[in-house]
Chains A and B, each alone.
Chain A
Amino acid sequence: MAILEVKNVGKRFGGLQALGDVNLNVEENTCHAIIGPNGAGKSTLLNCLVGKLIPDTGSVMFDGQSVLGRKPYEINQMGISRVFQTPEIFSDLTVMENMLIPCFAKRDGAFRMHAIGSIEKDQDIVGKAEQMLIDMNLIDKREMQSSSMSRGDKRRLEIAMCLAQEPRLLLLDEPTAGMARADTNNTIDLLKQIKDERDITIAIIEHDMHVVFSLSDRITVLAQGTPLVEDTPDKIKGHPKVREAYLGESQDAA
């Protein structure tokens, strides 16, 4: 069953048709990659899914419910978490505090006036946050201010924060952009592990073909705002249209 159904979505910015007529189904418990050259509309599509942008036409259904017109925090509470291109974390706070926030958000919802309670005495939340830090190998950085971590660790923390909310769909926007090779490989391993161990659907936007082919079950190629093809990674690799639109350029250059 498709957990995310995108139907006939179009978005125009002034004279630019950013998204033409996008149809896309993301099946439950798979990893679906969306690739395409710069300006293909990948980020616009993602922003339409999380409520940052509202498409001009079409519908976006998550788990049978429309997400259109809902605020980002409402969509998140429905079960969609997003990882950003540059890690968006609470950089003034410690790693542990960063981890506590999604745990509270998962349990208490979008707003709860909990103004004189003590955090330390909330064993459920503290325990959950600590467990998540242990799972993600961040426990030794517990009291560190998160802004002073390496790029790779920030990404790891951001993914951990998203997972702490137990989302049903995890959206990744170029998770390895600007990373060194070693960090990229670590991130791939981490995502593979997440995919194997958890009941989670992943949709990923990525430039790095190595990342895409090592993670995804299905790939949609986007070009000029419309999906070109959708298929398994093996078939995408050999697809003539894809080579022409995207992969071909680098092969010619080589």
Chain B
Amino acid sequence: MFGLNKRDAGLLLVVAGLALFAPFLLNPFPTDSAMAQFNAGYPDLMQRFVIFGVFAVGFNLLFGLTGYLSFGHAAFLGIGSYSAVWMFKLLGYNILPGMILSVVVSAVFALMIGYISLRRSGIYFSILTLAFAQMLFAIAYSDLIGRFFGTPITNGETGLQVYTSDPQFFHSENLPDIPHIFGQKMQSTYTLDVGAWSFDFNFGYYFCALILIAAFYLAIRIFRSPFGLMLRAVKSNQQRMNYTGLNTRPYTLAVFVISGMYAGLAGGLMASMDPLAGAERMQWTASGEVVLMTILGGAGTLIGPILGAGFIKYFENIFAKINDNVLHSWFSFMPDGLENLMVALVHPFVGKGWHLTLGLLFMLVVIFLPGGLVEGGQRIAQRLRGKKAAEKATDTSKTPAE
């Protein structure tokens, strides 16, 4: 199917299914139940799941295939966002020009940063990319270029946003004053109520989901292509590559640019969902986040980065919401002293402490499942299959006796 073998086509269908049915899958609990706070099926969060999915899938093309660990990928995310918002300001709220420009501009930046950084490998490459990203962050945060030209370019701390005084050449009265695509608003949401459940279908989310599916499909094709094979060869043995008549530099630069374009696309999507671009999107913590997502999900695997992105974003948004009041209501069935003790014990791990839980989980995964969540899934599948196979074996041994 689409030039994919059976397994890859299956994987694509799984991702497509997860993305398209996310409004149901993420809202398993009735709206008024105590568990409703674990529901993640609201448009804002679902958009973030898939946007970071795109980001992580692109990052994995670089890190998973070639082993080059970029620690400055958030720079491209921010550049994508700024580019998109600039298109909103100049042309209007139709997101297509913004999306295109965000990919193009981030590709240009990736070409420049990659050209220099890829002269080194290993930790030196990571440090170079980190340095470039922090430089760009500092430039954006202080709006250095804007001050030089006398007009805001990144608008510093405030962040770049659209004002009514902006030109917006293609804007007309009958078009909405928020991001849209040919008049269809990104914000528009249809809510389906089924009994106690309620599901939100958001246009912006589905737009992002389609882009994720397309981005994932392209990533599979790259993984299975001769180009992808060369990238894995780069990771495995550069010496042999050089002595096999292959120039590693253009291969790594090409994938660095592709990966930067994925990040730019994700940044453009972010701005399309919420027409704001701030410098904090480019900070090193954001670069670190995508590294965590990829490793947690399984670097070098196809679906891992998407799982990792979903996992981390879920934690960030859901665990962070659990405060002491919620904890008290959970443990209210216990005697008072015990209730307070339990709340005190759980408290450091939830709410603002969600980073602690995530950190512990990350450690556990890296130590026990170096292949990430994907390896965990494979092990479970193997166990189950092993059991089934064992049962079958006993079955067949029984049959001849009867």
Task: Identify the A interface with B (CB < 8 A).
Answer: 50, 71-74, 76-77, 81-82, 84, 88-93, 97, 100-102, 104-106, 108-120, 122, 125, 161, 165
Which residues of the partner chain A approach B235 to less than 8 Å between Cβ atoms? 92
Interface string of B245-269 (1 = CB under 8 A from A): 1110011001000100000000000
Whole-angstrom distance between the Cβ of A172 and the nearest chain B Cβ: 13
Contact (A76, B242) CB under 8 Å given A89-B237, A90-B237, A116-B221: yes
19 additional A-B residue pairs with CB within 8 Å, beyond A88-B243, A120-B5: A50-B243, A76-B244, A88-B240, A90-B232, A90-B233, A92-B232, A97-B229, A101-B229, A101-B230, A101-B233, A102-B244, A110-B247, A115-B221, A115-B227, A116-B225, A118-B224, A119-B224, A125-B226, A165-B244
Contact of A73 among B3, B226, B237, B245 (CB under 8 A): B245
Which residues of the partner chain A approach B250 to less than 8 Å between Cβ atoms? 111
By the criterion CB–CB under 8 Å, are A81 and B243 in contact?
yes
Which residues of the partner chain A approach B138 to less than 8 Å between Cβ atoms? none
By the criterion CB–CB under 8 Å, are A118 and B229 in contact?
no
For B232, the closest partner residue in chain A by CB is A93
Which residues of the partner chain A approach B218 to less than 8 Å between Cβ atoms? 116
Assembly CA distance A72 to B241 (angstroms)? 10
SS class of chain A's interface: helix, strand, loop or mixed? loop
Interface residues on B, range: 20 to 34
Task: Identify the B interface with A (CB < 8 A).
Answer: 3, 5, 218, 221-222, 224-230, 232-233, 235-237, 239-247, 250-251, 254, 258
By the criterion CB–CB under 8 Å, are A76 and B254 in contact?
no
By the criterion CB–CB under 8 Å, are B229 and A161 in contact?
no
By the criterion CB–CB under 8 Å, are A117 and B225 in contact?
yes
Which residues of the partner chain A approach B233 to less than 8 Å between Cβ atoms? 90, 93, 101
Which residues of the partner chain A approach B243 to less than 8 Å between Cβ atoms? 50, 72-73, 76, 81-82, 84, 88
Whole-angstrom distance between the Cβ of B249 and the nearest chain A Cβ: 8
By the criterion CB–CB under 8 Å, are A104 and B230 in contact?
yes
By the criterion CB–CB under 8 Å, are A122 and B244 in contact?
no
Q: List 13 A-B contacts (CB under 8 A).
A: A73-B243, A74-B245, A90-B233, A90-B237, A97-B232, A110-B247, A111-B246, A111-B250, A113-B254, A115-B227, A116-B221, A117-B226, A161-B244
Contact of B236 among A76, A90, A112, A115 (CB under 8 A): A90
By the criterion CB–CB under 8 Å, are A106 and B245 in contact?
yes
SS class of chain B's interface: helix, strand, loop or mixed? helix
Which residues of the partner chain A approach B241 to less than 8 Å between Cβ atoms? 73, 101
Which residues of the partner chain A approach B237 to less than 8 Å between Cβ atoms? 88-91
Whole-angstrom distance between the Cβ of A40 and the nearest chain B Cβ: 23
Assembly CA distance A71 to B246 (angstroms)? 10
Contact (A101, B247) CB under 8 Å given A91-B237, A118-B224: no
For B242, the closest partner residue in chain A by CB is A72
Assembly CA distance A81 to B229 (angstroms)? 21
Assembly CA distance A110 to B254 (angstroms)? 14
Assembly CA distance A101 to B245 (angstroms)? 10
Which residues of the partner chain B approach A122 to less than 8 Å between Cβ atoms? 226
Interface centre among A89, A106, A116 (most CB of B within 10 A): A116
Whole-angstrom distance between the Cβ of A62 and the nearest chain B Cβ: 14
Contact (A71, B242) CB under 8 Å given A113-B254, A118-B224: yes
By the criterion CB–CB under 8 Å, are A93 and B244 in contact?
no
Assembly CA distance A112 to B229 (angstroms)? 12
Which residues of the partner chain B approach A115 to less than 8 Å between Cβ atoms? 221-222, 225, 227-228, 254, 258
Whole-angstrom distance between the Cβ of B233 and the nearest chain A Cβ: 5
